[in-house]
């Protein structure tokens, strides 16, 4: 039995143990997450769902190493990140997690290629190496002919493809999408979802998608539903 537990833990990429996140607003304490335990396996495709105020954004911030818990422990690849300082969190984020945001978050003054290269430059990767990797990824998402374009010259779906390429450029273990199709029409949204599926199936990436859209969530292998800061269905 002990061996089985150990094997299960070794397959975890992210693990939350009795995690609380509490915000103090004046004299009132708001518990955004309450005693949450969760184990996400390496190579899983997980959707985290819930209505506004359910704790989805807080969960995303904790899982994505953007914040630390008020109580409890969070492991990323078996490393305890619960008490890390921001500089340590930033380093581990850069290496382990790729982010895809609803608003794309591309820098308008940079070309498509330069936007994708940027995370590598933050990691002090040689420019020639960064350019080669970024070019390869832009071709992977079907934008090999748009590398010199700026974000304003691209459609919403193309901008999200750039964001996906950028999220992959450091070869992270985890792709974390925050409403990744929220600003796209249904057809384009399905194209983006197809890319995420290929990354999961063909590249073995762990995909975590935060969304209020149950139809979108249904494409994941596993659906975790939050309500009032707690997991009510998994």
What's the domain range around 188? 42-68+84-233
Quick check: 182 and 157 in contact, CB under 8 A?
A: no
- Please state the domain count of the chain: 1
190-208 tens-digit pLDDT: 888 888 888 898 888 899 9
Q: Does residue 26 lie in a domain region?
A: no
The strand pairing partners of 100, in sequence order, are 177
Quick check: is 74 in a domain? no
Regions in the chain scoring below 70 on pLDDT: 1-10
Rounded distance between C-alpha atoms, residue 107 and residue 110, angstroms: 6
Which DSSP state fits 170? Answer: T
CATH of the domain at 110: 3.40.50.300
144 within a domain of the structure (yes/no) = yes
Q: CA geometry: angle at 81 spanning 79 and 82, to 5°?
A: 130
Q: How far apart are CA 110 and CA 134, in angstroms?
A: 13
Stated pTM of the model:
0.83
User: Tens digit of pLDDT for each residue in 44-63?
Assistant: 999 999 988 888 889 888 98
């Amino acid at each position: 039995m002990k061996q089985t537990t150990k094997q299960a833990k070794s397959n975890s990429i992210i693990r939350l143990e009795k995690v609380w996140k509490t915000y103090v607003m004046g004299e009132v304490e708001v518990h955004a997450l309450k005693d949450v335990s969760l184990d996400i396996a390496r190579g899983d495709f997980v959707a985290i769902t819930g209505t506004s105020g359910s704790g989805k954004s807080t969960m995303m911030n904790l899982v994505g190493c953007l914040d630390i818990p008020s109580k409890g422990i969070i492991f990323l690849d078996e490393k305890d990140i619960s008490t890390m300082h921001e500089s340590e969190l930033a380093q581990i984020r850069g290496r382990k997690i790729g982010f895809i945001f609803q608003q794309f978050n591309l820098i308008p003054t940079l070309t498509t290629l330069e936007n994708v290269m940027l995370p590598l430059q933050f990691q002090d990767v040689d420019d020639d190496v960064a350019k080669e990797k970024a070019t390869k990824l832009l071709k992977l998402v079907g934008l090999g002919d748009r590398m010199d374009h700026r974000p304003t010259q691209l459609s919403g779906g193309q901008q999200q493809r750039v964001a996906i390429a950028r999220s992959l450029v450091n070869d992270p273990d985890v792709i974390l999408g925050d409403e990744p199709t929220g600003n796209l029409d249904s057809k384009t949204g399905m194209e983006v979802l197809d890319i995420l599926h290929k990354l999961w199936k063909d590249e073995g990436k762990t995909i975590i998608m935060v969304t209020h859209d149950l139809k979108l969530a249904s494409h994941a292998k596993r659906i975790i539903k939050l309500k009032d800061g707690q997991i009510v269905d998994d």
